[in-house]
Structure 1
Amino acid sequence: MKLRWFILAVLFLAGCSSHDYRQPPWEPEVPVQRAMQWMPIARQAGQAWGVSPRLIVAIIAVESGGNPSVVSKSNAVGLMQLKASTSGKEVWRYMGWGGQPTNSELKNPERNISAGTAYLSIMENGVLAGINDPQTMEYALIVAYVNGAGALLRTFSSDRRKAIDKINDMSPDEFWQYVADNHPAPQAPRYLWKITQAMNSIG
Structure 2
Amino acid sequence: MTLQILILSIILIMGCNNYLNVKKITANNYSFLNKKNIEKTIYNWNFLIKKASNKYNVEEKLIKSIIYAESSGNPYAKSESNAIGLMQIKPSAAGLEIYRLNGKKGQPSVKELYNPKININIGTSYINLLQKKNLFGIKNKEIMRYATIVAYVNGTSALLKIFSKNRNKAIKIINSMTVKTFFKYVKKHPSVQASQYLEKVIRIYNLI
Q: Structures share a fold, TM > 0.5? A: yes
Amino acid at match of 1:165: K
Are 1:28 and 2:27 an aligned pair? no
Q: For residues 134 and 109 of structure 1, what CA distance do their matches in structure 2 show?
A: 28
- Determine the C-alpha separation between the residues in 2 that align with 1:151 and 1:33: 34
Gap runs ≥5 in structure 2: 1-17
Residue aligning to 1:18: none
Residue type of the alignment partner of 1:184: S
The code of the aligned residue for 2:128 comes to S
Q: Which amino acid aligns with 1:57?
A: K
What is the match of residue 151 of structure 1? 158
Structure 1 residues 198 and 144, CA gap change in structure 2 (3 angstroms) = same
RMSD of aligned residue pairs (Cα, Å): 2.2
Kindly tell me: are residues 31 and 107 of structure 1, through their superposed partners in 2, closer, same or farther at Cα, counting changes over 3 Å? same
- Map of 1:41-190 to 2, 5 A cutoff? 41-185=48-192, 187-190=193-196
Superposed displacement of residue 188, structure 1: 1.0
Q: Which runs of 5+ in 1 are unaligned?
A: 12-25
8 Å CA contact 2:71, 2:85 repeated in 1: yes
Give TM-score scaled by structure 1 length. Answer: 0.85
Aligned equivalents of 1:89 and 1:123: distance in 2?
Answer: 14
Q: Give the Cα–Cα distance (whole angstroms) in 1 for the partners of residues 180 and 194 of structure 2.
A: 15
Give 1:6 shift: 11
Structure possessing the higher radius of gyration over alpha carbons: 2
CA 94–38 in structure 1, closer or farther in 2 if over 3 Å, else same: same
Query: Structure 1 residues 5, 123: CA separation in 2 closer, same or farther (over 3 Å shift)?
Result: closer
Q: Secondary structure at the match of 1:184?
A: coil
Kept after mapping to 2: 8 A contact 1:155/1:183: no
Question: What displacement does 1:75 show?
Answer: 0.8
> How many residue pairs were aligned?
186
Q: Cα 1:162–1:6, aligned 2, differ >3 Å: closer, same or farther? A: closer
Taking structure 2 as the reference length, the TM-score comes to: 0.83
